[in-house]
Structure formats: structure tokens, C-alpha cells
Amino acid sequence: MKQEAALYLIPVNISDAPLENVIPTGNLQIVKSLRHLIVENVRTARRFLKRWDKTFDIDSISFHELNGHTDLSEVSEWLEPLRHGEAMGVMSEAGCPAVADPGALPVEIAQREGLKVIPLVGPSSILMSLMASGFNGQGFAFNGYLPIDEKERSRTIRELENESQNKNRTQIFIETPYRNNSMIRFLSENLRPDTMLCVACDITDTDRESVVTRQASSWKNCRENYDKRPAIFLIYRGGDAVLGNRKGGRRHVR
């Protein structure tokens, strides 16, 4: 079935969990109708599509790679089929495209030109970690990676911590997986002892998923090995907003 001419944003699994557990089956029918995909890596995209459906006609699809080696001046040209009424898709390596992901560029171009963009439902480790953390979900910020330089990193984490307290905001960030353990040590030593720290790891993985929230000082004795595992870090120094912002009145924001 031919899909409406739009740029479809296609989520990908973020663990080895069965795809039917994390991605709606309706997504597959949409993707099977597309003939133009923008992906981070053609090889892994092809592997994912075959895992999704072994009968997928991969050879009928034209792929464009959008990653650190891409000449960004070419991206606009890739959207020519969409401009002429053909549906296209953007696919991340993991999770939702355009969220902490280079897929935001074709979306920006499509929006600027008034072309339709349709996000499909799928797993986002950032939002799922926030959901499970117990922190404020009405005010939060994703900050990407912290600086590598130790002094800069210390300054940044103090700023995020202060902003969390002053603005009642959950602060979310990530780290290269092989440095997760050192990040936890850094946070336990540099955050105020009663700042809440959540480490969410292997989200959606049936056997390995772990979401643990406790005071920063308690993480000093952490014996769990988080290295080489995809993780999200969240800190929070807020008031009663984490319990629904009772003083703020508007408790149910979707």
C-alpha cells in the first residue's frame, strides 16, 4: 500500500529484545512501502530490516548514509523524492531518529520547506529512563555528553546540579559505555551527597535492564559493573514536583 507523501521517522530497537515487544507491528507495513531511506549505516540498517522481516525487499530501497563522514550539503538533495510526492524514511542506529541523532537535519529541512513529517512510535532510552527514575517529568533537559576535560566536567556538573535545584529540573546525560564506571565514581564524588542520581542501563533488555535511583553518596559503594553497557544518567535536586508538582496545580501534563 502506497503511503502518504511524508518523511517517516522510524525507531529502531535499543536492545536484543524481540522486536514485537518494543516496536508496533504497524510500523513494518509503513516501512515496507518506502523506497528511500536515510540511515546512519547501510549495513546495520539492512540487517535490522531483515531481522524485522526476512522477506523484506532490501534491494528495492535506495539508501543514503547520514553520519560523521557525510557531506551535509548533500542532504537536501536526498529529499527530492519527497518533494515529488514520494514517501521517505529516516532511521537511526538505535532508538528514535532525530533525538540525540544526526537524523534531525533532514527533518529540519523538511519542516523548513513545509513537507510533512510523521514520527512513528518506538523506544527512546532517554524518555524511558526518565519515566522509571522517579524524577520530575514535567521539567527536564537532555544534555548529551559532559566535557571530557576534568575541570570542565566538574564545572558543568555543578551547573547542572544548581539548575536542577533552582528550576526543579531533571538533568539527563550520557557517557561512552566503556567509561560508565568512571562516570559513576565522578558523580558520586562531585555531586552533593543528597543529590539524587539515577543510572538506567540496558533499557528494554529483558535480562539485563536495570534502573536504580539513590542518593549520590550511596553510589560510592557501587559494585555493579556498568561498563560497555548502554546507559543514561539522570540527576535531580528538586522539590515536590517529582510527586506531581502539588503546589503548581497542573499535575497531569501529557
Query: Mean pLDDT, to the nearest integer, of 221-228?
Result: 92
Domain containing 35 equals 7-119
CATH number, domain containing residue 236? 3.30.950.10
Domain stops at, among 97, 119, 141: 119
| pTM > 0.85: yes or no | yes
Cell of 245: 508538582
For residue 2, tell me if it sits in a domain.
no
The C-alpha atoms of residue 22 and residue 35 are separated, in whole angstroms, by 24
Rounded to the nearest 10°, the torsion over CA 222, 227, 229, 232 is 60
pLDDT in tens, 40-75: 999 999 999 999 999 988 999 999 999 988 999 999
Q: Which of 119, 135, 150 is the last residue of a domain?
A: 119
Q: Is residue 71 part of a domain?
A: yes
Radius of gyration of the chain (CA): 20
The pLDDT-based confidence of 211 (bands split at 50, 70, 90) is: very high
Q: For the segment 159-189, what is each residue's pLDDT rounded down to a tens digit?
A: 999 999 999 999 999 999 999 999 999 999 9
For the chain, how many structural domains are there in total? 2
For residue range 122-172, list pLDDT tens digits in order. 999 999 999 999 999 999 999 999 999 999 999 999 999 999 999 999 999
For residue 207, the model assigns a pLDDT of 92
